Structure 1
């Protein structure tokens, strides 16, 4: 190796080590910040966690209470949001991967889906407010379901398309060669082969919407009392956490920490399940 080449190699090696050190430092800073946040969340959350949190309603200031109405409301909104949004995303992703592959229409739909995927959730809330809440004249759980479903659709659409495109073509071609209709091949062969990936997409969408606050402020709003009426304001954990955390009352702040812990653990469990399913190979 010539002197010039050796000098150039040494200079590039020093630059590489410098930038690698910066990357490690940034990663360490991020992990340390996350560790501090989780420590504070677990300490404050577990200190206020008891059976009353799961059995009593949200209290007025200065009174003991829990988060039962908020927990039930969040479960209702999340379940119905996923129930409404998942079929739409599944059908859209199936069309893009199986019927409209490579077409200009599919390219346009994919572009719009990516925009919707990255749109701020508060924009979704304002949109649903204009087309649902304003015409109805009041906040409601129905509007909250529509807002969350609109957040579910682009996630399920993208994961469905990606998972179906990973299914080996010889597998579907072999099924078609047996004379099976296209719809039968998709439902009985392609979906089964990509089942773990499809479930992963639904779980990721569920984890995404379970902690959304902004769209619910413009749609479902809140309810201090227990209610399962979708035509009326409905309580939810994210909104309760937002309101209680900003309050000057210690008992409300304690409940806010407990609610934040419950959502964090739920999202963590869903993310772990989605990660485990995502690592499974597509069935051959």
Structure 2
């Protein structure tokens, strides 16, 4: 009887492993097919001109999207400078100091903002910044992307800090360290791997946003000239070129999509590597 139970358990274990592996393959098939299709279409558009030249006028062959690549990096960089530090500080407050109604309100607001469509963020920034400046600008685009990043970084930071054992806090406080010193030197450093990973994933999340940029940064056919001026970006060019009847623009749109996917992939890999290094290689 015991031998029969062991066989049933081994059979059930192998069956569950097979089912789990099959479910993993089914989940990866759509992702793999999308990546393969984008790579197949996009590689045909990638050449030296694509990375070095400006877009050609409508109907003319050739040209590139160098200004859009630079513009995307500038917009994401602005959003990161504004959103990541504020999100980390807010997460520290919620995890270490936040109590009562204010902390509950901040958490609730972050949860609501996470589910708000990005186009709503673009409209709000348009009504507050673009209208006040009387022009579309890189600043407005960076603010819109930073608002999208903020709740993601905040909640990730809070959850990572909560995973740090209380015994580390108690040991530091027992040695005479202040709460702020304990938070900075012990708690924050212990959770740094998860915080870095969450921040880089938030960067990858906003890199492909199109709707907010249509209301804030808009686009441009020329090189970036200032943070208070319109700026090109890959997501907006993909949206614009994909809706035109010109085959040459469709080709450039596929190339832009591949470059954007590559940026997100590199950011995700960097997040994993940074998380492992900060976590001691685990």
Matches within 5 A, 1:126-165: 126-165=123-162
Structure 1 residue 247: Cα displacement: 1.2
Distance 1:234 1:41 in 2: 25
* Equivalent residues of 1:196, 1:278 under 8 A apart: yes
TM-score, normalised relative to structure 2:
0.87
Structure 1 range deviating more: 160-169 or 61-70: 61-70
Matches within 5 A, 1:115-126: 115-126=112-123
* Equivalent residues of 2:78, 2:139 under 8 A apart: no
Equivalent position to 1:233, from 206, 230, 233: 230
Structure 1 residue 253: Cα displacement: 1.1
Aligned CA distance change for structure 1 residues 239 and 281 (closer, same or farther; 3 Å): closer
- For 1:65, the equivalent position in structure 2 comes to 63
Q: Would you say how many aligned residue pairs link Structure 1 and Structure 2?
A: 265
Structure 1 residue 281: Cα displacement: 8.7
SS of residue matched to 1:212 = coil
Equivalent position to 2:262, from 261, 265, 269: 265
Structure 1 residue 141: Cα displacement: 0.8
* Equivalent residues of 1:74, 1:210 under 8 A apart: yes
Structure 1 range deviating more: 259-268 or 180-189: 180-189
* Equivalent residues of 1:212, 1:238 under 8 A apart: yes
Q: Tell me whether 1:209 sits opposite 2:206 in the alignment.
A: yes
- For 1:246, the equivalent position in structure 2 comes to 243
Alignment gaps of 5+ in structure 1 = 1-12
Residues 237-273 of structure 1, C-alpha deviations (whole Å, 9 max, x = no match)? 1101111111111221111111100111111222233
Aligned CA distance change for structure 1 residues 59 and 282 (closer, same or farther; 3 Å): same
Equivalent position to 1:85, from 77, 83, 86: 83
Distance 1:43 1:245 in 2: 16
Matches within 5 A, 1:180-195: 180-195=177-192
Distance 1:223 1:179 in 2: 57
* Equivalent residues of 1:222, 1:235 under 8 A apart: yes
Distance 2:24 2:124 in 1: 37
Equivalent position to 2:111, from 114, 135, 139: 114
- For 1:5, the equivalent position in structure 2 comes to none
Alignment gaps of 5+ in structure 2 = 1-11
- For 2:42, the equivalent position in structure 1 comes to 45
